[in-house]
Amino acid sequence: MSAAIARVYVNNVEVGSLPVEQYQAIVQQARADKRLYVGQALSALNVLYRFLVKALFMVPVFYFVVLLVLEVGSPSDMTDFITAMQQATPAEVNHTIRMMLGWGFMFSAICVFFAWGLGGFSTGYVDPFDVKIAGRIRSLLEVPAEGALRVEIPKNAEQ
């Protein structure tokens, strides 16, 4: 009975192979490293942080576009809004600003979420398990550190 072979590709070019058992041992070693779980949690927190920062930075852009559309499309509504703000009490102005910021942040967060989903920009997530496994395979096969590493295991060997 022959041992199954896992094929290793870097940038979609086959660079070598290794026994499936050896690959699975590398994966098990990586899964046993508790520090990688902490790294994974920190990477997830980094994604959340990046999401909040991008959403906050989009709020002024959103209001710039809204004001531009209102000024060009309906100047009378913009004039009515400014007049209403001049006649309002400070508490009403504060309430209006808080509502506008809340709605603006929610809209910005939805836009950022959809931009991530459509591939508009990276989430910044790095899987430390993949990094560890790829590093170990690269050192075994003496493959350069650049490029995306992919391992293909034959279907009948995944038992």
- Give the residue extent of every domain in the chain: 5-157
Tens of pLDDT along 106-145?
Answer: 999 999 999 888 887 788 888 999 999 999 998 888 887 7
Which two three-digit tokens encode residue 144?
């350069």
In order of 41, 106, 126, 129, the CA distances from 136 in angstroms are: 22, 43, 17, 11
pLDDT, residue 142, reads 86
pTM score of the predicted model:
0.72
- Percent of the chain's residues with pLDDT above 90: 57
